[in-house]
Chains A and B, each alone.
Chain A
Amino acid sequence: MAIIETKVKDAATDELALVQAAKRGDVAAFEELVKRYDRNIFRIAQHITQNREDAEDVVQDAFLKAYENLEQFQGNSKFYTWLVRIAVNESLMKLRRRRSDRTVSLDEDIETEEDSMPREVADWSPNPEQLYKQGELKDILRKTVQGLPASFRTVFVLRDVEGLSTEETAEALDLSIPAVKSRLLRARLQLRERLNKYFRKPRGGDGKK
């Protein structure tokens, strides 16, 4: 346990040292930060924008913006959380541009809690992911998560796909902790409901309960 704690501490110190060096204009130090997080930023951007080209632009723009504004990074939060915040804002801007007829905001709260209440309670097959070929499964999962409102999708991707804590997610999205929890619950329940039709046990299947 102590070893793990030390390692976490070392990683944080090491990261802060890289940020400090980058602030002094050391591009190689910044390169290390880019290599550390570009895959995560791409995933987040692609989840929010749902568009590959936009996600590529977001990766470039977010890192460049971070580099240019490093002076404003105070070190109160993790560098990664600060970077995610920039990337989420860039992604939402892209999304707004593509859907100029619709307002996209993290404050959108268009569905009531009742809308997230489970309507269908069906048990799933024991290993639902094995019911489909990998490519098919990915298509189902993409299509399903894309159907969520942007505000739910964003919270879900940060918490459940990228593994940020509730506090980090709240900070990255400028939301309160209760707002993060409420959106996360509703995102999870809606995804579960939508996946029912793909994963539920076949009726009258093998007769086992």
Chain B
Amino acid sequence: MTCKDFLKELTDYLDETIDSSTREELEDHLAWCHNCYVICNTTKKTIEIYRDSQLYELPEDLRSKLEVAILSKCTSRKKPTTT
């Protein structure tokens, strides 16, 4: 397995959506290829940091304001009950 082959499978490997024989091949490659080992770990860390960082949280006061606006528009466009 070359480094290029490894990179192609990296997403499936990190998402654990890979069959066991390919997984073994990838792990064999990781055991001796320091570059791919570093790329794999730092990519994994990239995903974790973004997942945990809560970059764009909706403040509660704005959230309430948006909910009121949405629901008042829905009410004014209330559809007749269908059976």
Known pairs A24-B82, A60-B69, A137-B53; A38 contacts B46 (CB<8 A): no
Q: Interface SS of chain B: helix, strand, loop or mixed? A: helix
B1-26 Cβ-contact flags toward A at 8 Å (1 or 0): 00010011011101101000000000
From A25, A43, A142, contact of B58 by CB (8 A): A43
Asked whether, in the complex, the Cβ of A160 is within 8 Å of the Cβ of B51, the reply is yes
Give residues of chain A (22-40) contacting chain B, Cβ–Cβ below 8 Å.
23-25, 27, 30-31, 34-35, 38-39
Q: Interface SS of chain A: helix, strand, loop or mixed? A: helix
Give residues of chain A (126-170) contacting chain B, Cβ–Cβ below 8 Å.
128-129, 137-138, 141-142, 145, 156, 160-161, 163, 166
Asked whether, in the complex, the Cβ of B7 is within 8 Å of the Cβ of A117, the reply is yes
Asked whether, in the complex, the Cβ of B50 is within 8 Å of the Cβ of A185, the reply is no
| Interface residue total, chain B, C-beta cutoff 8 A | 43
Q: Interface extent on A, as a size class?
A: 35 or more
Residues of B within 8 A of A (CB): 4, 7-8, 10-12, 14-15, 17, 35, 38-39, 41-43, 45-47, 49-53, 55-58, 62-63, 66-67, 69-71, 73-75, 77-82
Residues of A within 8 A of B (CB): 23-25, 27, 30-31, 34-35, 38-39, 42-43, 46-47, 55-56, 59-60, 63-64, 67-68, 117-118, 121-124, 128-129, 137-138, 141-142, 145, 156, 160-161, 163, 166, 181, 184-185, 188-189, 191-192, 195-196, 199
